[in-house]
Amino acid sequence: MSTTTSPTTTAPTTTAPDNGGGIDPLEGAGTESVSAAADGYEIALLNRVAVGRHEGYDRVVFQFRNALPGYQVEYVQPPLHEDGSGNIVDVEGKAFVVVRMNPASGFDQETGEGQLVYEGPRRVGDARTGTSTVREVVRTGDFEAVLTWAVGLGDRVDFRVLTLDGPPRLVVDFRNH
């Protein structure tokens, strides 16, 4: 498995809290928007969303079956709206980050009649995730090859964005306490 960091804009470095060991697990993280273009035109098919706690950060992983999409990850102000309908979507938290992926979907249109690829929940997050910063991750859109998820946080914190392969994944880490 290789790790690739490929944002086209990088978040500014911030001072990390002293964790006793002097190593910042989120070196280079910040609160500015991070984005990257897709390498091609293939629609990335989401098949898994995972949330978990690690030492120094909470992690949200979007795993794809076939390719990585382009992305934009940024803080937004509520209310949050569902793509397409414009309906307001309630997300637990005090601060909100939107992860917009393009071209991406949880539904494979290329199979003729279409096939549901992402069969997980629209909302991820509860006591079972063990996270201290991430409260809830909610799908707010899967419309016209734009897949959008909102991350509700306990507070506005630094984040970093990574891409991984084998399988293709978009990872967003949020500083935790």
Candidate from 29-33, 83-87, 92-96, 166-170 with smallest mean pLDDT:
83-87
Give residue 25's pLDDT.
87
CA dihedral of residues 24, 27, 33, 35 (deg, nearest 10): -130
| Residue 125's pLDDT band (cuts 50, 70, 90) | confident
% residues pLDDT > 90 (the chain): 74
User: If pLDDT is split at 50, 70 and 90, which confidence band does 15 have?
Assistant: very low
Higher pLDDT among residues 129 and 108, named by residue: 108
| The pLDDT of residue 21 is above 70 | no
Confidence band, pLDDT 50/70/90 cuts, at residue 22: low
* pLDDT tens, residue by residue, 78-113: 999 999 899 999 999 999 999 999 999 999 877 666
List the structure tokens of 152.
């509700």
- In CATH, the number for domain 37-175 is 2.60.40.3500
| Neighbouring C-alpha atoms within 13 Å toward the C-beta of 94 | 6
Burial of 75 (0-12, 13-18, 19+ CB in 10 A): middle
Summary mean pLDDT of the chain: 87
Mean pLDDT along residues 65-80 = 97
Task: State yes or no: pLDDT of 8 exceeds 90.
Answer: no
SS3 label, residue 138: strand
**32 CB-near residues (< 8 Å, 6+ apart):** 9, 11, 12, 74
pLDDT at position 11: 34
Residues in CB range of 61: below 8 A, 6 or more apart: 48, 49, 50, 51, 52, 169, 170, 171
